[in-house]
Copies of this chain bind each other. A is one copy, B any other.
Amino acid sequence: MAKRKICVVVTARPSYSRIRTALTAITNHPDLELQLVVAASALLDRYGKVSEHIKQEGFHINAQVYMVVEGENLVTSAKTTGVGLMELATVFDNLAPDIVVTIADRHETIATAIAAAFMNIPLAHVQGGEVTGSIDEKVRHAVTKLADYHLVATQRAAERVIRMGEDPASVFVTGCPSIDIAAQVLDEPDLTINPFEKYGGVGAEVNISNGYLVVMQHPVTTEYDRARKHVTETLHAVRDTGLPTLWFWPNVDAGSDGTSKGIRSFRELEQPANIHFFKNIPPEDFLRLIYHSRALIGNSSVAIRECSYLGIPAVNIGSRQLGRERGPNVVDVDYDRERIMQAIQTQVEAPRPEKVTLYGDGHAGERIAQTLADIPLKFTKRLTY
């Protein structure tokens, strides 16, 4: 019997992290054949060119699609998605997959979802049913309504997807594959790398041997023009703690220009002595750095997901993760340098939080692959009420 062709579209570095163990499990599954499409910011130098990394990890890329329309504003987010939709339709027409997999909720992922839905290809959505702020909220639930299968991270997410009118038989709680990597990191937790040597970066070379912070702050698209102001608050707070800090550059997004500009301007003017800035690095090293840190600061979902599993204190700033389920490791705080600094102090001084499996137990990738092998190949559905 021919293997099922599973086409996974990766459009950004974080999406890759969140699907990688599933890619491996699909590759290894006797009944599945992986078709990997890499597109959008995953191809771009400015965002760490994760396509190269994907190849180095041994995956074959079936097609790559440049689709990011430059401008980093709201108009170009829409146009990027339009270009992607046009081209992914052609890619799917030529690859003829049995199932398409789309990941999470970045704006351009809806292009994958529409192309598959319109072409009567069964669509599996990984990581639906969560609640957050920003445009991601609209995209995520719209993709749920386009998808035939829902491979969700948590029980709560499954409940929400079903309440939105999806057939319970189409919803599977697999856990999040990003936790699989966290689980691997917990198995081999030693920090064997020197991040400055391995990844370069710019700014002060800080001493991380006595504890340090990790920061990752993304722009929030519905708060476009405030992105610069917001990141500046965090920069001041982190600088003022005086704690050695590894700061990781944000993703491509409407507004990333505001965030990037805020960071660049702060660096030029303030030359913070305790902060070193990095571009993206592979998730294992990133998670090991976090695992050995005193806290993760910013608005990355890593604070909510992986850090709950790893038991790492997190200071979550602003609205981006609003509504997402939290473990006991997270303290929320508004865009305010004073409060951010206080929250950092609190988290750094508190005892390590408990490890919880809210977002998965480390076997999500395998569960996703097996589900993709088992589900019927259907592409019609109807609201359940």
Mask for A76-90, Cβ within 8 A of B = 1, else 0? 111101111111111
Residues from chain B with Cβ under 8 Å of A91 in the complex: 90
Residue among A72, A82, A323 with the highest chain B CB neighbour number at 10 A:
A82
Question: Quick one: which of B114, B137, B143, B380 contacts A81, CB cutoff 8 A?
Answer: B114
What 1/0 flags go to A23-45 for Cβ under 8 Å of B? 00000000000000000000111
* Residues on the B chain within 8 Å of A134, using CB: 380
Contacts A90-B87, A146-B142 given: A78-B119 contact, CB under 8 Å? yes
**With A78-B89, A268-B202 in contact, is A135–B164 under 8 Å at CB?**
no
Instruction: Provide the main secondary structure of the chain A interface.
Output: helix
Contact indicator A66/B74 (Cβ below 8 Å): no
A72 to B78 CA separation, bound complex (whole angstroms): 20
A17 to B220, CA, bound (A): 36
Q: Which of B88, B93, B224, B379 contacts A64 (CB 8 A)?
A: B93
Whether B87 contacts A87 by the Cβ 8 Å rule is: yes
Chain A contacts with B in 60-80, Cβ cutoff 8 A: 63-79
Q: How far is the CA of A68 from the CA of B139 in the complex (A)?
A: 24
Q: Are A79 and B74 in contact (CB under 8 A)?
A: no
- Determine how close the nearest CB of chain B comes to the CB of A90; give it in whole angstroms: 6
Number of copies: 4
Closest to A165 in B: B164
Q: Which of A121-154 contact B (CB under 8 A)?
A: 131, 133-135, 137-139, 141-146
Does A295 make an interface contact (CB < 8 A)?
A: no
A interface size (C-beta, 8 A): 77
Q: Please indicate the chain B residues that have their CB under 8 angstroms from the CB of A143 in the complex.
A: 142
Residues of chain B within 8 A (CB-CB) of A84 are 82
- Kindly list chain B residues whose C-beta atoms are within 8 Å of the C-beta of A89: 66, 75-76, 78-79, 82
Measured between beta carbons, the chain B residues less than 8 angstroms from A79 are 66, 83, 85-86, 89-90
Tell me whether A382 is interfacial, beta carbon within 8 Å.
yes
The reply to whether A118 and B114 form a contact with Cβ atoms under 8 Å apart is no
- Other 20 A-B pairs with CB < 8 A, given A69-B70, A74-B118, A74-B120: A44-B70, A45-B72, A45-B257, A64-B93, A70-B252, A75-B90, A75-B93, A77-B118, A78-B115, A79-B86, A82-B89, A90-B91, A107-B118, A134-B380, A138-B381, A141-B145, A141-B165, A142-B146, A144-B145, A163-B165
What are 13 A-B pairs with beta-carbon distances under 8 A? Answer: A67-B69, A68-B70, A68-B71, A69-B69, A69-B83, A74-B120, A75-B119, A82-B87, A85-B85, A86-B86, A120-B135, A202-B268, A222-B379
- Shortest Cβ-Cβ A-B pairs, 7 listed: A82-B85, A82-B86, A78-B89, A141-B145, A68-B70, A142-B145, A78-B118
